[in-house]
Structure 1
Amino acid sequence: MITLTDSAVSQIRKLAVEKASEGQLLRIFVEAGGCSGFEYGMSFEAKKEDDQVLESNGVSFLIDPTSLEYLDGSVVDFDDGLSGKGFDIRNPNATSTCGCGRSFN
């Protein structure tokens, strides 16, 4: 399971109104890249055949099976404070992370 905090839910709902087209949900994914080997990503997309639709805190989102393996147990937060860096994924499966907050191993 992946948990979205209240602040993440608020920002996702705001972005969905601004950026999502009809029938699109937020996709949370992992891809090769970044300075630590893997990189987190988010985008609004239509559901693909192998996607799972998960729900947290009243928001449904998409995730592919491979990304779910890497992200299971993670918490997605959003920080918009003075030193906020946007979305932050706290991933218990990451053995190391980069200072940018988007890359992990």
Structure 2
Amino acid sequence: MSTNASGGGDLDSAVTITQAAAEEALSLMEGEGMDVDIGGLRLFVQQGGCAGLSYGMRFDTEPEEDDRVTQQHGLRVFVDPASMNYIGGSTLDYESGLQAAGFTVENPNVEAECGCGESFRT
């Protein structure tokens, strides 16, 4: 289920959250003592990196008035309107392996990425 923080329509295609990403984020939030029914993971785009834009994530206690709020697998994800222009249709995942573990964003809007994968251009 997805909603706009101001009560707007269906936004299921805005950002998809995998079960692995939701479980990891919820675990981290609970470890921080956050209320997972109100708070959520903020996913945003910022200027930076060698390709021009980079992803950012942080926990917020509640959405901003104009955020798009997507809830899947029990995790609420907040995306501001400017960031949604760059990451709409993306999938947030969590991967763990022998080399590294962390959240990843699969973004169909990306035209180019830097060599290390930390920044992108649309």
Assess if the C-alpha contact under 8 Å between 1:29 and 1:64 holds in 2: yes
1:4-60 deviation line (CA, Å, top 9, x unaligned): 112111111111112364443110000111111001011011321221211223321
Say what the alpha-carbon RMSD is for the aligned residues. Answer: 1.6
Residue among 56, 59, 82 paired with 2:72 = 56
Question: Which amino acid in 2 is paired with 1:17?
Answer: E
Question: In the alignment, what sits opposite 1:7?
Answer: 20
Matches within 5 A, 1:29-44: 29-44=44-59
- The one-letter code matched in structure 1 to 2:30 is V
Q: Which has the larger radius of gyration?
A: 2
Task: Tell me if structure 2 keeps the 8 A contact 1:88–1:101.
Answer: no
* Alignment match of 1:65 (pick from 69, 81, 84): 81
- Of residues 58, 76, 99, the one that matches 2:115 is 99
2:41 alignment counterpart? 26
Question: Which whole-Å CA distance do the structure 2 matches of 1:56 and 1:93 have between them?
Answer: 21
Distance in structure 2 (CA, Å) of the matches to 1:58 and 1:91:
22
Q: What TM-score, normalized by structure 2, do the two folds share?
A: 0.77
How many residues are treated as equivalent by the alignment?
Answer: 105
Where does structure 1 lack aligned partners over 5 or more consecutive residues?
none
Unaligned runs of 5+ in 2: 1-13
Distance 1:19 1:73, change over 3 A: same
Distance in 1, Cα, partners of 2:112 & 2:101: 19
Task: Tell me the distance in 1 between the aligned counterparts of 2:26 and 2:70.
Answer: 15
Look up the equivalent residue of 1:27 and give its one-letter code: R
Deviation string, structure 1 residues 51-101 (Cα, Å, up to 9, x no partner): 121122332111101111111111111111112341111100011112333
